Amino acid sequence: MNAVEIEQAVSVLAEEPFDPDQFPYTFLEAFGNKKTTIKRLRAGTTNRSDVGGVLQRSNIHIKVAPEGEVAAALTDLKESPETARAKAKLVLATDGHEFRAEDMESGDIVVCDFPEFPEHFGFFLSLAGITTVKQIRESAFDIRATGRLNRLYVELLKENPDLGGTDRQRDMNHFMARLIFCFFAEDTDIFPHQSPFTSTVEQMSTPEGSNTHEVIDEIFRAMNTEFEDRETASLPRWADAFPYVNGGLFSDSTEVPRFSRTARSYLLHLGNLDWKKINPDIFGSMIQAVADDKERGSLGMHYTSVPNILKVLNPLFLDDLREQLKEAGGNNRKLLNLRHRMARIRVFDPACGSGNFLVVAYKEIRAIEAEINRRRRERGRHSDIPLTNFRGIEIRDFPAEVARLSLVIAEYQCDVLYLGQKKAVTVVLPLNKENWITCANALRLDWSSICPPTGTEVKHVADDLFESAPDQSAIDFRNEGGETYICGNPPYRGSQWQTAEQKADLKSVFDGRTRNWKQLDYVAGWFIKAADYGAQTPAASGFVTTNSICQGRQVATLWPLILKTGQKIAFAHTSFKWANLASQKAGVTVAIVGISNRPSYVRQLFSIRTDGETAVRGA
């Protein structure tokens, strides 16, 4: 089981009537314990509890307490000789009303009402053998939201099977992006208090869900109607309270799916989550499997932690910005020069997925800008960092939709943090129509048409933010003349696992350069495209990659071609595990390689020491 599946199982357990006799076993089942393990615990074969509870060796000691005696029961568990003898990491006591748990090693505790304990599921993930517990605790909301979006998506497809077809799937994906925006907007005051999305749907739709699609359609129509046109639009009074949003998100007439009673209840549950807690830098990477039948079974396993993303972004350009900030100290002129430099930086991810690299880069640059403004006594100053300088290419429709939405959410969250809620609300709507994520095959696309070299203009102009036609493109950069940094986590795919289409992609990149391209991993195509781009303009690139392109026969084929373009290795990270949210899985082994046509004098090699800390050597 992965973390999303566990969160779903725990949530179902909390919603069911409390059964004191069964709770310890159903709790352990929710974390992936096998039926044979539970059977032995029930029989007492492996249960050595000395306080009338259930003790699972090396894991947890659980006791169901009489009503009102949970605190005393937890004390009994902590002081139990068998808890120590069995090396139980966690203790848990509940009476079905109150819920308490404690980590015996760290001393961390959970105290909450019983129905709320699923919000703390990350506390117990060691029971499932999941090692990324710290990251999951920090992103617990995103995991809960992912699970509920998945349940809604699957239920809607039952009622609207035509939306699962290739020709209609984009409509379904666009609808889901609209919902995510509405949930976020109503919890962050983007929508005024008199127009809460979830409660309006609940009040105006029938319990069986038969007219839910009609209610949502009227709300969406309001969000696509400018205020001066409202009088002639014949909007219902309850829909007229919603603001004009547009930006392409609500600009077409995408049909709202029909809802069953179950789908309506899933929608209301989603809306009742606290969407202020969303982390756009990781949320998108977890939900991108929702819209893919083949990937839905691995829901949440696309999770990319911020520390791993920073392994690329820090040496690529963020460390240099922070060093310049340090050198500037309190010098207003130097601080201003740095701010001007950052306003012209372009970050480009040609395999952007749901935009997590772009979002993290944007948030980190905004944090540096905020520190500059603080030192210059200009707190509350509007940002000079335009979203249009953060560009991406993504081959799949739904992740591309989510990438655009994630960047919008990240910008608003940064505005709230650095400008304050009132200023942030005034600038967020209507959404900007400029488009910066292109839905296309990156290996078949001229990257300079999306992220043009310094001093040139883009070759196309997009219609709107959420346009996704095959010929969509980007818009001109603000603040021309800056640096370009290419980053990301492209698909790896060894030669023996590539589809016919992927082999044709590589042929289009390498044909005429080498006869040996068939042995290369798919990710090699991104390195050559980045090297070609760097031959046109000053640029640096850093990608997560299979370590096989840095060893064995691929080295002799790929790297002479890269070096021939004038690129050099600027930094690298030795092999490490790229962890995901699945239980008992450490993740794929990867490396990181950065290339540049203007590397610094000292190039860096990063590695992870035995104590888990990062070591760096100059070369």
What pLDDT digit, counting tens, does each position of 41-66 carry? 998 888 989 999 999 999 999 999 99
- Per DSSP (E only), the strands in 533-611 are 539-546, 568-578, 588-596, 604-608
Per-chain mean pLDDT for the chain: 85
Which residue type, as a one-letter code, is found at position 537? T
> Is residue 265 included in any domain, yes or no?
yes
Strand, coil or helix: 62: strand
Contact 544, 579 (CB under 8 A): no
Query: In this predicted model, what pLDDT tens digit does every residue of 355-401 receive, in sequence order?
Result: 989 999 999 999 999 999 999 999 989 999 999 899 999 988 878 88
> Is residue 451 included in any domain, yes or no?
yes
Its sign, for the CA torsion 331, 333, 339, 345, is: negative
Q: Are residues 121 and 156 in the same domain?
A: no
Q: What is the pLDDT of residue 474?
A: 41
Q: What is the pLDDT of residue 304?
A: 66
> Is residue 609 included in any domain, yes or no?
yes
Beta-bridge partner residues of 572 = 593, 605
> Is residue 304 included in any domain, yes or no?
no
> Is residue 555 included in any domain, yes or no?
yes
Tell me the C-alpha to C-alpha distance, in Å, between residue 9 and each of 263, 526, 594.
18, 39, 41
Angle at 609 between CA 606 and CA 612, to 5 degrees: 105
Residue that wins the pLDDT comparison between 300 and 260 = 260
> Is residue 300 included in any domain, yes or no?
no
Q: What is the pLDDT of residue 135?
A: 54
pLDDT tier, 177 (very low <50, low <70, confident <90, very high otherwise): confident
Strands 90-94, 98-103: pairing is antiparallel
Is the pLDDT score of 296 beyond 50? no
Q: Structurally, how many domains does the chain consist of?
A: 4
Average pLDDT over residues 95-103: 95
Q: Are residues 45 and 78 in the same domain?
A: yes
Residue numbers of the domain that contains 405: 309-485
Strand, coil or helix: 447: helix
Q: Are residues 226 and 340 in the same domain?
A: no
> Is residue 135 included in any domain, yes or no?
no
Q: How does DSSP classify residue 461? A: -
Q: How many CA atoms lie within 13 A of 76 on its CB side?
A: 18
Q: Are residues 68 and 124 in the same domain?
A: yes
Q: Are residues 160 and 184 in the same domain?
A: yes
Query: Encoding tokens for residue 470?
Result: 């095959």
Which of 427, 461, 485 is the last residue in one of the domains?
485
Query: Encoding tokens for residue 51?
Result: 């306080």
Those residues with Cβ within 8 angstroms of residue 67's Cβ, 6 or more apart along the chain or in another chain: 95, 96, 97
Q: Are residues 323 and 273 in the same domain?
A: no
CA-to-CA distance for 499 and 504, rounded, in angstroms?
9
Which of 435, 457, 485 is the last residue in one of the domains?
485
Q: What is the pLDDT of residue 350?
A: 96
Q: Are residues 320 and 452 in the same domain?
A: yes
Residue that wins the pLDDT comparison between 257 and 123 = 257
Its sign, for the CA torsion 16, 17, 23, 26, is: negative
Helix, strand, coil abundance in the chain, percent, nearest 5: 50, 15, 35
CATH number at 535 reads 3.40.50.150
Which of 73, 107, 129 is the last residue in one of the domains?
129
Query: Encoding tokens for residue 488?
Result: 């990301």
> Is residue 297 included in any domain, yes or no?
no
pTM: 0.78
Q: Are residues 93 and 153 in the same domain?
A: no
Average pLDDT over residues 118-137: 71
Q: Phi and psi of 382, rounded to 5°?
A: -60, 145
Is the pLDDT score of 295 beyond 90? no
Q: Are residues 358 and 410 in the same domain?
A: yes
Contact 460, 449 (CB under 8 A): yes
Q: What is the pLDDT of residue 495?
A: 83
Q: Are residues 118 and 191 in the same domain?
A: no
Residue that wins the pLDDT comparison between 129 and 465 = 129
Q: Are residues 495 and 474 in the same domain?
A: no
Q: What is the pLDDT of residue 293?
A: 57
Q: Are residues 124 and 146 in the same domain?
A: no
Q: How does DSSP classify residue 314? A: I
Q: What is the pLDDT of residue 404?
A: 87
